[in-house]
Structure 1
């Protein structure tokens, strides 16, 4: 699972399952909401 986050600050963030175990608990939408970003790319896998 790979989620790309485009933050308002202009910096792109990358969240991967190995970096954020909570991916197994929360949906991508919830994570992006918490990060205050928007979807740049859909999940792969």
Structure 2
């Protein structure tokens, strides 16, 4: 149970980091890159 919680928490942190990074690099990022992002995270 704790392992699953830690895993989901780490995933949430990763998502938050990605969104923060997206905010800074939004101008250079293309729509294709944005759509490809979830595939790279898997």
TM-score strictly above 0.5: no
Determine which structure has the larger strand proportion and give its number.
1
Give the TM-score of the pair, scaled to structure 1: 0.30
More helix by proportion, 1 or 2? 2
**What TM-score, normalized to structure 2?**
0.31
